[in-house]
Chain A
């Protein structure tokens, strides 16, 4: 928690209309951790725990999964509310950003580095950075070429081949 987050959550608490929803959202993190912990416990047991004298592959995962489960279980009860930042309209921007990143990876696989980078930089600068179209395009083109030169030409990273990449050499 940072100096600000107590202040921020104070703001969030005031803003929040439904305390029940807030509580549910707040408990989400411990619940997820608990599920992960229990799943890992059962998986680790299946791997074979062995004995302390001859530890099996599952013993250590079992111990740490036990720690995770135990802490998550306690957090389910005592997690301090001040740690939580409120969910805001800005959260939607995050989802959009994530979709953009995923798209970048998919395109990267098929189109190589330069084209997806150009698209990604331009779109991000325009929509999330609030730059003008012209500025976003200039930075996008310049950035894509500069990064291609750094990664492919200077460092020799074998990016998937794409139409424009070959033109630029490397």
Chain B
């Protein structure tokens, strides 16, 4: 099937009334949870997983994908207005977006972010259409050793990119792989690690693990904090950017699209990595880099474009190789598995309506998001009035009811509870849940491929190196590790030079540097595309006094209360 036929078929699927409705629901939910700090795309998708089993596979993925890229739009709003990243990928936007808001340019900042996101998203969809089919063709020739190499690459990338401690992430990945072995051995039928529990014979349920770690774990973690989010009461004016704004940011949007696309395709890419990289690139290219950190529109346009482009192109490895590039995609992978569809090279020929339908829905979804974001920003801002306690209570009950509905088994509710505790403890001790979940999803694929490889090669490990494709993939793996290591060092150097000189107080200065430096070295509250961390809120708030009051014009410059840095944090 040619690409044009495919796109035509995809549009036919995406334009069905049901799917139009679901893409709208998806992008709306995405925007809403993007705005709400503390509830990111990962947690939301985990919570909604059980509800997707009752709908068609294509519709389910259309919905979940909409939530993912919708959250990339929504996360911008609080970054600009309150300097609170609504989801992890928008952290970079706080640097210049908030400064623009202080100078009365919140409207154009949000406007250019929406326009940039739209352009980045659409270009990434075009790239996806062009790149995915040939990649799937290539992947058809992959054998078990290639799959071992690919899954290893995916897991390794997720542990490497971002987090300050790759070792801790690797440890979590090992735990995820171990969890994946619970249940009956796929080949011999021997039960493993079931401790006599019949409910464990089929393994630990993926949905329960994801909901526990991301949903319940996150809610428990937020219970420890008590501070409230300030509502924004000012009207946002002049959303549509001026011609000058467009001229200034055109280059940044173009470069952000390409950069975001490329980074999104890499395993472990997407989300915050792409926006950080784009910010660094714009700053390096700028004639006057000192404007960055003081409200440079390029510093908003580039990263916002890049994070949306990457959230789209991150679908490429999933739809063509069957390898989720980050945790959000791992959840979508899980949703497809439960629907009886194994994403992989065959997807494009065996389930064309899923493949092309999802791609076409992204075009429609991005269009809807542009329409939603430009005129309705003010409405979304009102969402910040919803109290966190109400959100948490309902999220918990929906989680419990939802996880029961997957297998109609109360055992799974206990699994959620246990993994909720584990997720909370992991947060307390600085372990990332992302690698665990990704490894858990990939574990059975990896084991099967490994055992098949051993049978193929007669027990020789050489098979992974001597076959050109798997050997090549392993070489790429080594190369990406080296490059990402170097890039991380360079990025750190760039961010150390973000000096917001016109900040009001020293306290705020330190705050911003901490945000910049901290985020870069460990990167990644959201290398997974968005493990929502509520923590940034806590760090930002004390220095800001009442950000709601001073956000738009910086009127409170002189009178910003600066409580001692440790107060009010818990």
Contact = CB atoms under 8 A, between A and B. Distances in A.
B174 A64 contact: yes
Nearest to A157: B405
A124 B220 contact: no
Contacts of B408: 157-158
Q: Contact residue range for chain A?
A: 35 or more
Interface stretch (B67-75, B409-417, B545-553): B409-417
A87 B428 contact: yes
A72 B569 contact: no
B393 A3 contact: no
Interface string B211-229: 0000010001001111000
A158 B410 CA distance: 11
Interface string B391-402: 011101110110
A59 B177 CA distance: 13
Given A61-B181, A71-B174, A75-B167, A91 B401 contact: no
B450 A83 contact: no
Contacts of B240: none
Contacts of A40: 178, 193
Nearest to B193: A43
Given A33-B175, A47-B192, A79-B168, A52 B387 contact: no
A26 B410 CA distance: 34
Contacts of B428: 84-85, 87
A139 interface: yes
A2 B447 CA distance: 32
Interface string B427-440: 11111000000000
Contacts of B397: 104, 117, 120-121, 143, 147
B4 interface: no
Contact of B451 (A55, A91, A157): A55
A130 B177 contact: no
Interface string B290-307: 000000000000000000
A68 B390 contact: no
A3 B178 contact: no
Contacts of A57: 185, 187-188, 190, 192
A98 B515 contact: no
Nearest to B187: A57
B175 A53 contact: no
Residue with the greatest number of chain A CB neighbours at <10 A, chosen from B170, B397, B461: B397
Given A72-B171, A91-B224, A105 B535 contact: no
A95 B200 CA distance: 26
Contacts of B443: 64
A160 to B, nearest CB: 8
B420 interface: yes
Interface residues of B, number: 83
Given A83-B429, A128-B223, A159 B404 contact: yes
A128 B392 contact: yes
A130 B227 CA distance: 12
Interface in A95-138: 97-98, 101-102, 104-105, 108-109, 113, 117, 120-121, 124-125, 128-131
A129 B387 contact: yes
Contacts of B522: 1-2
Contacts of A64: 174, 177-178, 181, 443
Interface stretch (B126-134, B316-324, B536-544): B536-544
A3 B536 contact: yes
Contact of A93 (B216, B224, B459, B536): B224
Nearest to B173: A67
B491 interface: no
B192 A4 contact: no
A169 interface: no
5 smallest A-B Cβ distances: which pairs? A129-B389, A83-B430, A4-B539, A90-B224, A53-B459
Given A53-B454, A83-B431, A143-B397, 13 more contacts: A5-B535, A55-B450, A55-B455, A61-B192, A64-B177, A64-B178, A71-B170, A83-B429, A88-B224, A108-B400, A124-B396, A129-B387, A160-B410
30 contacts: A2-B539, A3-B525, A3-B535, A3-B539, A4-B518, A4-B540, A5-B430, A28-B429, A44-B192, A48-B190, A52-B461, A54-B459, A57-B187, A57-B190, A61-B192, A68-B171, A83-B164, A83-B165, A83-B430, A89-B570, A101-B400, A105-B417, A108-B410, A121-B394, A125-B389, A128-B389, A130-B387, A143-B394, A157-B401, A157-B404
Interface of A: 1-8, 11, 14-15, 26, 28-29, 33, 36-37, 40, 43-44, 47-48, 51-61, 64-65, 67-68, 71-72, 74-75, 78-80, 82-85, 87-91, 93-94, 97-98, 101-102, 104-105, 108-109, 113, 117, 120-121, 124-125, 128-131, 139, 143, 147, 151, 155, 157-160
